[in-house]
Structure 1
């Protein structure tokens, strides 16, 4: 039974309990108002509980530490980038390099720009003023490459970035701003240069031998992630490995949580598997109740919970992108979204990250060069159930293609008051954070033949947010059914984005007729207290 059905069942059961022993069925004997109040009470409790959980609907800002802010102490740490590593100037752009067979990686993986945790802390005002609730960092543990997905030692912060004390200071600073800190956990594999792997590779009798999987069937002699020779996979079936990663009190997952971080984003979580993910999540929650575990799971999200709290929304991202570029029409997109939310459950959906671009994809402005389509995609990102995940620089309209181009240094010269992309992003963040229904509300489709339309709603009529979009290339006039029994006939709907220039929109017997241009988007709220002193919402919450 999903959450929506459970709450309905709970409400009806509560209403029925009040009429026990009346001789008739509970539903028939219970007054309509009593049933409605019981239903509302059950829903109200659910939304209030969600509001107390920071993980629901949080706005997440993602940062590559090496590329976010220039270090003030760069000259003093140049020795940390010995050849063949290269330290680039901040205004240089990443370019694809050549394969280095001895190192078993590409040369652009060891190009650096010198950012660190201290320089990041100096730019937190930008992240906070954008409206982010959570700062998420790509891996910061000791590793050879710039991306740090090839861990050498999880318990040590890469010296180019700083120390564990810097992590504690960053967490404390963020908490003082009312924000949270999430780190990237790369626990499926380590780096070939890790001392434990070198020892294991050198001797079959070494105690670390069983931490990895060796055999002649593997190129290079060991099982590696996605055949990347620099990334030998950990043998998670070995209890000692799990003890080191998350099971023991001094483990990686638990010790960083004690340092002050608030959660983990797990790299290639689908490879870790549900059983070990569930163990890791339980360990994190035991160490720090209310901490967040988000899995990078490209699969359909159904059935990956409660092994993780949320997922990185690969499926949702593809639905959004393919809808705005015309590969999926509005009715099909509506069916896909409705099915995914229904089968996944609203609770894990709210904790899942809704992203349009990150360190593995082309930047948003490059992936969707048409501004109309891009803005439509962003509206969906901030209004569909979940936690919007912003990749540093996308709010500024930074460009960047495939790896490594999307990992360019932050363009601070673009962070100006007249930057239209930044202004639009701030408006969407403010909208999302300011609307209870967008942060913690349920989801249901609005009936439409040609438009993609849905509602985010709570137990209160005044919270309802109606989202109506036209992803097609033609003007569309359609009649939309609003299946919300609390929205009164004649209610004026107020545009929240300031994009509507037509006649005032009003609900007529739960129907709304609207004409939208290509890429047109409406985010509407009911006006429950019109001027003049009279409201027909006086007895409807």
Structure 2
């Protein structure tokens, strides 16, 4: 017979509601898979589409790798920005079995709106899908397919700027009396006579505060943000959100939520995340990415990295970070296998991505160890030839995703730093001691033995732990909240209290 402690029950019941509420929100701790539609899967109708890539655009063979091009003065873009590989929404949908098989919860697409370049960050018409990719009906079909699989769809919203070829910009530039003139900031003080994002002549910025612009982008009932949400998408990732600012972001986020309660708005913010909530639901967590990578590259001492992570998580708040995307690479950064070429350290890095608070964001191809340096190297077409059951990166990715799905604390738990010096160690925990997960990593090139302090009053002395990465392997036992751990270079342990009774007895019988 188990005896219950009423005082402990009151404490646990108060905490339990927090974790249950987090679990009920699909945005918390979701596993996100990012796709560049042009590069993810070859179209089944490529020949019928060739006319959509007129010169100076070039349609490449799937086996080719993108390389740095030259600046084309007449069209104001680099030649590698108009090299295409021919993927479309239908081909992406045809490969959803792979994405679902990984255990992904959310498919995130880089921009799909009508645009001149391959990256589509230079929109011509937000309400139209780029013809190389398909139509709004294809978006609806993709969303419906994903929902049938229990998954969500998030699109990339590029509302800070458009493309110089956009009809409304061309009209505004040609006619000072145009109703679209005030949509842009024309000023002879700017290098090209209009404010452009980072002075890139192909990317004139929108005046998002201008009421008609605001109405068109997100506030009006038939606005871009709201109409795509009605089409079935589940959220928006906002490009260069730091340039949009707190007030406009908050306004946009509120309208998205009004249209679709529970929808997700994630901002691309290369800043400290603390003050950007609640202007957005989540951020792309570049700060945590930088801390992790610099630590594994030996540029940041482990103890300093631990303090930085602890400070960032405390300042931003776990509830906000659970909705924030934690990525190690994407379309704007070198791929992880290039940044961290050592397989052991790369596995350690990925383990942290899947165990720290957040929503892990997988960039297509990272699950099979694709390499790629600076732009455009990181945007190579998907290596489907590497998708094999014996591929080690794929096996490791699946193991990490399975680990997260099996462990409630990793999905929605709180964060607690474990006192250490040479090892990075932390706990993800809920109200139940049996769900606590202790993550311990040695990012150094030397073996490390260290005594750690586990600051959890429910961890019982001499009670067994189990290794979630290597079930059945020998593990150290805590003694009066201290745990001695030895790890080889690049070694990791993921430990959890074993609360199961042994021959009918458990020291956890009143504190579970």
Band the TM-score falls in, shorter-chain normalisation: over 0.9
Give the match for residue 68 of structure 1.
40
Q: 1:218 and 2:190 equivalent?
A: yes
Shift of 1:536: 1.6
Cα distance in 1, alignment partners of residues 76 and 472 from structure 2: 55
Q: Counterpart of 1:376 in 2: which secondary structure?
A: helix
Cα distance in 2, alignment partners of residues 127 and 429 from structure 1: 12
Q: 1:356 and 2:350 equivalent?
A: no
Deviations 1:333-371 (A, max 9, x none): 111011111111111010000000000111111111011
Q: Counterpart of 1:237 in 2: which secondary structure?
A: coil
Shift of 1:181: 0.2
Deviations 1:233-280 (A, max 9, x none): 001121111111100110000000000000000000000000000000
C-alpha contact 2:467 2:475 (8 A) present in aligned 1: no
Shift of 1:33: 4.8
- Aligned with 1:526 (options 497, 500, 505): 497
Shift of 1:449: 2.5
Give the match for residue 290 of structure 2.
318
Shift of 1:157: 0.2
Give the match for residue 26 of structure 2.
54
Q: 1:251 and 2:223 equivalent?
A: yes
User: Any residues of structure 2 matched to 1:263-282 within 5 Å, and which?
Assistant: 263-282=235-254
Alignment RMSD, CA only? 1.2
Cα distance in 1, alignment partners of residues 49 and 486 from structure 2: 59
Q: Counterpart of 1:444 in 2: which secondary structure?
A: strand
Cα distance in 2, alignment partners of residues 295 and 273 from structure 1: 10
- Aligned with 2:280 (options 295, 308, 312): 308
Give the match for residue 261 of structure 2.
289
Deviations 1:302-347 (A, max 9, x none): 1100000000011000001011111111111111011111111111
Cα distance in 2, alignment partners of residues 87 and 166 from structure 1: 22
Q: Tell me, which stretches of 5 or more residues in structure 2 are unaligned?
A: none
User: Any residues of structure 2 matched to 1:411-426 within 5 Å, and which?
Assistant: 411-426=383-398
Q: 1:115 and 2:87 equivalent?
A: yes
Q: Counterpart of 2:456 in 1: which secondary structure?
A: coil
Q: 1:365 and 2:324 equivalent?
A: no
Give the match for residue 496 of structure 1.
468
Cα distance in 2, alignment partners of residues 421 and 267 from structure 1: 29
Give the match for residue 302 of structure 2.
330
Q: 1:461 and 2:461 equivalent?
A: no
Q: Counterpart of 2:195 in 1: which secondary structure?
A: coil
Shift of 1:114: 0.5
C-alpha contact 2:310 2:417 (8 A) present in aligned 1: yes
Compute the TM-score of the two structures, normalised by the length of structure 1.
0.93
Cα distance in 2, alignment partners of residues 126 and 59 from structure 1: 14
Q: Counterpart of 1:303 in 2: which secondary structure?
A: helix
Q: 1:514 and 2:475 equivalent?
A: no
Cα distance in 2, alignment partners of residues 209 and 424 from structure 1: 53
Q: Tell me, which stretches of 5 or more residues in structure 1 are unaligned?
A: 1-31
Moved more, 482-491 or 142-151: 482-491
Shift of 1:488: 1.5
Q: Counterpart of 1:244 in 2: which secondary structure?
A: helix
Shift of 1:230: 0.2
C-alpha contact 1:487 1:526 (8 A) present in aligned 2: yes
- Aligned with 2:448 (options 447, 472, 476): 476
Cα distance in 2, alignment partners of residues 156 and 434 from structure 1: 40
Change (3 A) 1:92 1:500: farther
C-alpha contact 1:116 1:162 (8 A) present in aligned 2: yes
Cα distance in 2, alignment partners of residues 504 and 520 from structure 1: 14
Q: Which runs of structure 1 show a deviation greater than 2 angstroms over 4 or more consecutive aligned residues?
A: 32-39
Cα distance in 2, alignment partners of residues 317 and 75 from structure 1: 41
Shift of 1:530: 4.2
Compute the TM-score of the two structures, normalised by the length of structure 2.
0.98
Q: 1:130 and 2:105 equivalent?
A: no
Cα distance in 2, alignment partners of residues 250 and 237 from structure 1: 18
Q: 1:377 and 2:371 equivalent?
A: no
**How many residues end up aligned between the 2 structures?**
509
Change (3 A) 1:459 1:476: same
C-alpha contact 1:499 1:522 (8 A) present in aligned 2: no
